């Protein structure tokens, strides 16, 4: 029986860092799944170390990247909604990862008994919900160039003043294109453009400079007429208005 003293003394940091009853720490190599689409959703996963991505595969075999995961993120939280459900996506390690697998029953217990843990978990869910809304607004109203700039900044985890320039995990242009809803050729064009403007360094791995924030915050891009890749179609000739 859990007492109020036990509830009050729950050390969230220790809980998320150690294995125990209903909890297992496991390690996966880059390219290996934490769980796969269609697997029984019976656990929530807490990423202790590393980076991962969440992807879905359509019936015709097309894969799309939904979001990227970093240390401190939960994933698989849909398993709390119903018993016997299935994962609707695949979580795959981008870099070597350590993850804590928390069984559904243990997750529900600690959410009920540990108020500090519940606060952290619900704060995470709220932040993820706000991120999803921001992603939707981004898709609806911003150009693909702005969407790519925002994604790179999020991957580099900028936001706090004084942070150093950040080297983000290796990711393909195809995955970047999937996440912002455009083509790989447009991503390639914008990446080369960002590199020429000094916003990023790009040689297999991507290092993002804070100057890329100018694209998002101030629309500061020299030569605004060059924001789109050139096309083979000539411009239409319009007669001057009389």
- Report pLDDT digits (tens) over 81-112: 877 789 999 999 988 999 999 999 999 999 99
Q: pLDDT higher for 158 or 187?
A: 187
Cβ neighbours of residue 127 under 8 Å, at least 6 residues apart? none
Cβ neighbours of residue 240 under 8 Å, at least 6 residues apart? none
Secondary structure class of 210 (helix, strand, coil) = helix
Give the closest residue to 170 by CA, choosing from 47, 53, 37, 64.
53
> In terms of C-beta density within 10 A (0-12 exposed, 13-18 middle, 19 or more buried), how is residue 238 classed?
exposed
Window from 23-27, 43-47, 110-114, 164-168 with minimum mean pLDDT? 164-168
Q: What pTM was estimated for this model as a whole?
A: 0.73
- Report pLDDT digits (tens) over 182-220: 999 999 999 999 999 999 998 778 999 988 888 877 665
Structural domains in the chain, sorted by start? 4-137 (2.60.120.10), 142-226 (1.10.10.10)
Q: How far apart are CA 17 and CA 48, in angstroms?
A: 7
- Report pLDDT digits (tens) over 72-82: 999 999 899 87
Taking 50 as the threshold, does the pLDDT of residue 38 lie above it? Answer: yes
Window from 37-46, 198-207, 233-242 with minimum mean pLDDT? 233-242
């Amino acid at each position: 029986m859990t007492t109020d003293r036990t509830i009050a003394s729950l050390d969230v940091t220790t809980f998320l860092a150690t294995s125990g009853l209903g909890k297992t720490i496991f390690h996966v190599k880059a390219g290996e799944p934490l769980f796969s689409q269609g697997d029984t959703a019976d656990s929530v996963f807490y990423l202790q170390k590393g980076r991962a991505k969440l992807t879905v595969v359509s019936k015709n075999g097309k894969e799309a990247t939904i979001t990227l995961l970093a240390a401190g993120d939960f994933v698989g939280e849909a398993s709390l909604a119903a018993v016997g459900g299935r994962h609707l996506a695949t979580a795959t390690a981008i870099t070597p990862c350590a993850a804590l697998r928390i069984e559904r029953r243990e997750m529900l217990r600690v959410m009920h008994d540990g108020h500090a843990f519940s606060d952290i978990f619900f704060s995470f869910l709220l932040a993820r919900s706000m991120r999803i809304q921001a992603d939707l607004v981004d898709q609806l109203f911003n150009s693909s160039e702005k969407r790519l700039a925002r994604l790179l900044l999020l991957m580099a985890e900028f936001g706090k003043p004084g942070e150093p320039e950040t080297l983000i995990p290796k990711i393909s242009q195809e995955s970047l294109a999937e996440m912002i809803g455009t083509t790989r050729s447009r991503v390639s064009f914008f990446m080369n453009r960002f590199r020429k403007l000094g916003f990023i360094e790009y040689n297999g791995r991507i290092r993002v400079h804070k100057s890329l924030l100018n694209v998002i915050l101030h629309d500061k891009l020299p030569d605004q007429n060059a924001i789109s890749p050139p096309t083979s179609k000539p411009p239409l000739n319009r007669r001057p208005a009389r």
